[in-house]
């Protein structure tokens, strides 16, 4: 077994290898393979094969600069998408614990803990006072 590992390591010298985009492509192809089991549509299997072939092409490629650039573009796109979901999650967590009111004078957002009854709120930006129910 160690001989096989050594031969594979020598084969991979100078090749790009696995990165986050490759892992994503493998995941997509596995999902498509399982979907193909239930859908019984040959196009799903063909699409799974294409994603897997693309993944292995990227992993065994010797054009490291190009593969790195592709991965960087994927990482930026993935970050933008996950950041949207993180912001939604944070807002939902905040809404469970706090009421967020806007100051009637300057529209500054002010966060007040829930369950405190009627509270007098002092705006830190413009100094206006107003009463709201928390």
pLDDT bin (cut points 50, 70, 90) of residue 9 is confident
Ramachandran assignment for 127, one of left (phi > 0), alpha (psi -120 to 50 degrees), beta (any other) = left
Q: Please compute, for residue 31, the number of CA atoms within 13 A of its CA located in the half-sphere on the CB side.
A: 7
Q: What is the pLDDT of residues 24-35, one digit of tens each?
A: 999 999 999 999
Percent of the chain at pLDDT exceeding 70 = 100
Q: Is 67 exposed, middle or buried (0-12, 13-18, 19+ CB in 10 A)?
A: buried
Distance of CA 49 to the CA centre of its chain: 24
């Amino acid at each position: 077994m160690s001989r096989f590992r050594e031969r594979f390591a020598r084969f991979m010298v100078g090749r790009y290898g696995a990165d986050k985009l490759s892992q994503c492509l493998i995941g997509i192809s596995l999902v498509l393979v399982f979907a193909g089991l239930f859908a019984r549509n040959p196009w799903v299997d063909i699409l799974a094969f294409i994603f897997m072939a693309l993944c292995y092409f990227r992993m065994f490629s010797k054009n490291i600069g190009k593969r790195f650039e592709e991965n960087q573009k994927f990482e930026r796109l993935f970050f933008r998408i996950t950041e949207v979901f993180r912001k939604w999650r944070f807002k939902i967590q905040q809404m469970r614990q706090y009421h967020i009111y806007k100051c009637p004078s300057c529209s500054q957002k002010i966060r007040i803990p829930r369950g405190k009854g009627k509270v007098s709120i002092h705006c830190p930006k413009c100094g206006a006072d107003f009463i709201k129910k928390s």
